[in-house]
Amino acid sequence: MRKLPLPSRIPILYVILGVLILLSVVPMYFYANQVMAINRDRLILNEKLLQNTITKSLGEDIDNRQGNLESMLGNLASAIQVASGGDLRNEHVSAPELRALLEKFVSSSNDIAYATLVNPEMKGISAGRIVPDDFVQRELYRAFEAAREGRAFTGQAIAVGSGKDHRVVMLFSAPLNANAAQSGCSAGVQVAGSNCGAFLGMIAAAVDLNFLVRRLQALSQGGLLAYVVDHQGRLVASAEQRVATGQDMSKVDIVRNFVETGGKARFNFTTEFEVQTENGREAMLGTYQPVPSLSWAVIAQKPQSEAYRGVYEIQRKAWWLAMFAVGLSILVAVYAARELTTPIKILTQSSRAIAKGDFSQRVHLTSRTEIGELAQTFNHMTEDLEGYVAKLKRAAEENKALFMGSIQMLAGAVDEKDPYTRGHSDRVTRYSVILATEMGLDKDLIETIRVSAQLHDVGKIGIEDRILKKPGALTPEEYEIMKTHTTRGANILRPVRQLKDMIPGIELHHESLDGRGYPFGLKGDEIPLIPRIITVADTFDAMTTNRPYQAAHDAEYALRIINSLANTKFDPRVVAALGSVLQQGKLRLHRAGTVAAEQAAVAAAASQSGVNQVENLRS
In this structure, of 131-135, 342-346, 548-552, the range with the lowest mean pLDDT score is 342-346
Q: Which helix (H) or strand (E) holds 401?
A: helix 370-417
Q: What is the pLDDT of residues 5-19, one digit of tens each?
A: 555 556 555 666 666
Can you tell me the mean pLDDT for 555-577?
94
CATH number at residue 102: 3.30.450.20
Domain boundary among 259, 283, 308: 308
455 and 575 both lie in a single domain = yes
CA 93 vs CA 88, 123, 173, 178, 202: distances in Å: 5, 8, 17, 15, 11
More confident residue, 22 or 88: 88
Among residues 154, 180, 208, the one where a domain terminates is: 208
179 and 254 fall within a common domain: no
Q: What is the CATH number of the domain that holds 501?
A: 1.10.3210.10
Residues 175 and 219 in one domain: no
Assigned domain for 424 exists: yes
pLDDT band at 184 (very low <50, low <70, confident <90, very high): very low
Average pLDDT of the chain?
Answer: 80
- Listed residue (205, 203, 207, 206) closest to 118, CA to CA: 203
Domain boundary among 263, 286, 308: 308
Q: What domain range includes position 234?
A: 214-308
Q: Supply the Cα-derived Rg of the chain in whole angstroms.
A: 52
**Is a pLDDT exceeding 60 seen at residue 607?**
no
Residue 540 to residue 171: CA distance in whole angstroms: 97
Q: Are residues 155 and 238 in the same domain?
A: no
Task: Tally DSSP H helices, then E strands, for the chain.
Answer: 19, 10
Q: Is residue 603 part of a domain?
A: yes
Does residue 241 share a domain with residue 130? Answer: no
Kindly indicate the confidence band of residue 183, based on its pLDDT and cuts at 50, 70 and 90: very low
Is residue 42 a part of any domain in this protein? no
Cα 376 to Cα 277, 346, 350, 384, 521: the distances in Å are: 74, 13, 13, 13, 66
Residues 268 and 296 in one domain: yes
Please check whether residues 246 and 106 belong to one and the same domain.
no
Residue 220 pLDDT exceeds 60: yes
**pLDDT of res. 496:** 83
What's the CA gap between 259 and 247, in Å, rounded?
A: 14
In which band, very low, low, confident or very high, does the pLDDT at 338 lie, cut at 50, 70 and 90? low
Rounded Cα distance, 94 and 119, in Å: 10
How many structural domains is the chain composed of? 3
Q: Would you put residue 203 in left (φ > 0), alpha (ψ -120 to 50) or beta?
A: beta
Whether 41 is covered by a domain: the verdict is no
User: How much helix, strand and coil, in percent to the nearest 5, is found in the chain?
Assistant: 55, 15, 30
Burial string for 50-79 (b: 16+ CB within 10 Å, else e) reads bbbebbbebbeebbebbeebbebbbbbbbb
In terms of domains, do 233 and 204 share one? no
| Average pLDDT of span 442-449 | 93
137: pLDDT strictly greater than 70: yes
Question: Considering the domain boundaries, does residue 101 fall inside one?
Answer: yes
Lowest-confidence segment of 80-84, 319-323, 364-368 by average pLDDT? 364-368
Among the listed residues 106, 115, 59, the one whose alpha carbon sits nearest the alpha carbon of residue 236: 59
CA 460 to chain centre: 64
Is 336 a member of any domain? Answer: no
Instruction: Note the pLDDT tens digit of each residue in 408-440.
Output: 666 666 666 665 566 888 899 999 999 999 999
User: Does residue 345 form part of some domain?
Assistant: no
Same domain, 230 and 291: yes
Residue 383 binned pLDDT confidence (cut-offs 50, 70, 90): confident
pLDDT at residue number 313 = 73
Residue 470 lies in a domain: yes
582 and 482, same structural domain? yes
Identify the helix (H) or strand (E) that includes residue 465. helix 465-468
Q: Are the C-beta atoms of 205 and 171 separated by less than 8 Å?
A: yes
Domain co-membership, 228 together with 146 = no
The single-letter code of the amino acid at 244 is: A
The predicted model gives 561-584 an average pLDDT of 94
Same domain, 162 and 220: no
DSSP secondary structure letter of residue 162: -
